[in-house]
A and B are shown apart, each in its own frame.
Chain A
């Protein structure tokens, strides 16, 4: 691998396997390189391990009892899965947004400032600047600039989901993981979210799990298809959707099963 292409890789996954207490092979030897400044969609039937894979990348699986994994995930020089890795530092570099919008029961401002406070941004003025920047990047500033002191729970679902994204990107992560971020949103909010994803990929790398084929086709540059813990196929989205090389992929995309 030459220097140029190495710089184009945001995240390198090698032989990653994962087992839960009741499920010995949730992920089976997954290897893939995630290109930098791009959107990678992960598609596959329910229970095939998409969320599990995502949770490996920022070690959220650590919160589950009895999880075991093997293999390697490399984030530049950082070995994500190693026991010595500083999980706090890792999670600041790899942000995550969940299926249901989960803002804290705090004000809009405090939601975005939460991670900043923890990461040691002491001055209130500096925090205000960073919060504004994050809200602007999340295309939410215009809607909430006069409501910063209101409770985040009073925002609409779509706004809440963008707030949660703002909260994550306030820490200026390299990678943003989105686990079915649009599944609880209406079509308009979904569209806005997709536009936002398109904006965000200029500055960071996005990995998105989705059940919506059209969405995957619309927002992603690369697509990974998973089935029963295996990574079946990975490639440019155009190729995967028009000329998949595996029969399973074609069946799934054309809706013949799953």
Chain B
């Protein structure tokens, strides 16, 4: 009797061991497959891009240097297609920077209000839940809102008040960099608010008490003790929103990105940034290239090149934000994830 229970027990452990072994190997192969797939995708992207970039032949550029120049600079009309990585990169970066300028203070202020000042009632709970849910609204919806509210609404008002001499041709009452940045700021606002609120909620109560015990007022505590301690989470939010802003296409089509812009939205003289200008954007270029244009020597090369550039740009932007964050983390001596 005892012997049979014992063997049953042993069998079960063997069966369990087999099962856990299977689980491990399945998940290991999944991870490997994902990794290989990503690597393969990258390799494909890289190879087609390189092949295309260094193509020199009849009907095209004479040598590598002029080929690179052709790819880098925008020129309309080249076989009814637009090549121009540099203006698209500049447009993308300008957009991301401007968006960060809007979303960072707005997101941080909202998060501070929600977790430091507002009392914890069912109403603030409702607001928190709504904000989390807003993060799931498709970006194109924000695009429609941006077009209606910013471009036609605000932009139209601005034109009537300040640029009435130029009417009926619109100045701000048409899609442009400012409205695109504001729209993307709205898209990313929930992401930033959620990241910062979580960061603030995770701070120990000790910190606030320590500050108060030194005679700090509520505001002083929030701005000199709490906010600096929550800076890493602010950067987490901004890193997330940077990637989204650089890669978003759908809302931008409605509020300001164009296939070809005659001038850059940034300049070397004051005011340095053309807020009302249309701009080129890597995501939009990608979309346009994939659907509408063949650029010699054809194939997927041009698309792959834009895609590769976009991926690299996002990686660079993230690296900048992450190194800023790790500097702060190191100063606070919280274990850095890098």
List A residues at the B interface (Cβ < 8 Å).
58, 60, 63, 87-92, 95-96, 98, 100, 102-107, 114-115, 117-119, 150-154, 164, 167-168, 171
Contacts and interface: CB of A to CB of B under 8 A. Distances in A.
A106 B332 contact: yes
| Size bracket, chain B contacts | 20 to 34
Interface in B172-215: 204, 206-215
A104 B229 contact: yes
A96, A103, A104, A168 — which one has the most chain B CB atoms within 10 A of its CB? A104
A118 B334 contact: no
B211 A92 contact: no
Interface stretch (B216-224, B247-255, B272-280): B216-224
Contacts of B209: 60, 63, 98, 102
A102 B334 contact: no
B213 A58 contact: yes
Contacts of B331: 106-107, 151
Interface of B: 204, 206-217, 220, 224-225, 228-229, 330-334
| A-B complex: 6 closest residue pairs judged by Cβ atoms | A151-B333, A105-B332, A102-B206, A115-B214, A91-B215, A96-B213
Contact of B210 (A92, A118, A164): A164
A208 B334 CA distance: 31
Contacts, number: 80
B204, B212, B228 — which one has the most chain A CB atoms within 10 A of its CB? B212
B206 A118 contact: no
Nearest to A90: B215
A104 B210 contact: yes
Contacts of B228: 104-106
B333 A154 contact: yes
Nearest to B119: A65
A171 B332 contact: no
Contacts of B213: 58, 60, 91, 95-96, 98, 168
Contacts of B332: 105-106, 151, 153
B205 to A, nearest CB: 9
Given A105-B333, A106-B228, A114-B224, A171 B214 contact: yes
Contacts of B204: 102
Contacts of A60: 209, 212-213
Provide the main secondary structure of the chain A interface. helix
Nearest to A65: B119
Contacts of A58: 213
A114 B333 contact: no
8 contacts: A60-B209, A60-B212, A88-B217, A103-B210, A105-B332, A106-B332, A114-B211, A164-B210
A47 to B, nearest CB: 19
Given A98-B209, A118-B220, A118-B224, A105 B334 contact: yes
Nearest to A63: B212
B334 A168 contact: no
Contacts of A91: 212-215
A100 B205 CA distance: 11
A2 to B, nearest CB: 33
Contacts of A90: 215
A171 B330 CA distance: 28
Contacts of A106: 228, 331-332
Contacts of B212: 60, 63, 91
Nearest to B334: A105
A100 B206 contact: yes
A58 B210 CA distance: 12
